[in-house]
Amino acid sequence: MANDNLDIKEFHWLMDMLQTIDVGLIVLDRDFKVQVWNNFMENHSGINPITVKDQVLFEVFEDIPKDWFTQKAESVFLLKNRAFITWELRPYLFKFKNYRPITGTEEFMYQNINISPLASADGTVNHVCVIIYDVTDIASNKKALESANRELESLSRTDRLTMLNNRGYWEECLQNEYSRLQRYDTTSSLVMFDIDHFKKVNDTYGHQAGDEVIRTVSKILRDSLRKTDIAGRYGGEEFGIILGHTSAENAFIFCERLRKTIEETTVVHDNISIQFTVSLGICEASKKLDDYKQWLEKTDQALYQCKENGRNQTRIFDLSTL
């Protein structure tokens, strides 16, 4: 009798611990009917244990993917081994609100899930225990870190003055584009251009005015690009553009539109109006080119032809000369 009283006392404190523990705890039978539903689950779902007792889990929570969860649980019943589901594989099993909405940044609670077999005295497993861990802080911190890393990566690739790709990253893209063209029979054109007589702008109006001219050209360029085009500041007042799936003839149309827009633009700095022009060289990709550096070199030669012929114009490199 004394032992029976002791067992009952132990049972009570054991149940009290399971009810008040700060994780979700559910026991399901083979038909996925709820047998145990602790306070954590009640507090976050708003459904009390009496209401959910003997109810099929998927009928109470219709947003739980039945096939996916059944497959996970059936393996636990069959193999008698635990199954784990992390928030990185699936953010949550139960879509509970994040209970730190003021300090937290997440809309809902991220959860890690542990499904354990519950063996009877004869070793058979007719119930599983599902434990829900709130890992919102961990998920939020990791997402914030990943976001910061992406921002740092973007900054490391970006030229601060123009907000275009910097030379290192742009040249890396050019190399990748050249490699891609060696594998696939597609067309692509490279454009190099610079601001005519830029030194005269700096010498006449000062470097601040020169920077404003470069910023203006960059903005016009960014507004002219398609999503697939890749532009970068090559150095000083020189820019490069990779026009994927574009012939030299179509690149010429793009360049002339860009050139005329810049020609019609006026930069006002310290109440002084500054007008300027650009010259653009084009070279279409060809298997005659040894590597991306030669592609760049031939595009530069087209740009120099513009300079020699009076500037403010577009020229295409003649591939037949290779």
Nearest residue to 61 via CA among 106, 110, 86, 28:
28
Q: What is the dihedral of CA 169, 175, 176, 181, to 10 degrees?
A: 150
The residue whose two tokens read 């360029």 is 221
In this structure, which amino acid lies at residue 197? H
Q: Determine the 3-state secondary structure of 212 from DSSP.
A: helix
Q: Are 300 and 192 in contact (CB under 8 A)?
A: yes
Residue keyed to tokens 């279409």: 284
* Cβ-based neighbours of 83, under 8 Å, separated by 6 or more: 72, 73, 75, 76, 114, 115
List the structure tokens of 182: 């060696």
Select which of 74, 106, 151, 237 is catalytic: 237
> Is 10 part of the annotated catalytic residue set?
no
- Active-site positions? 237
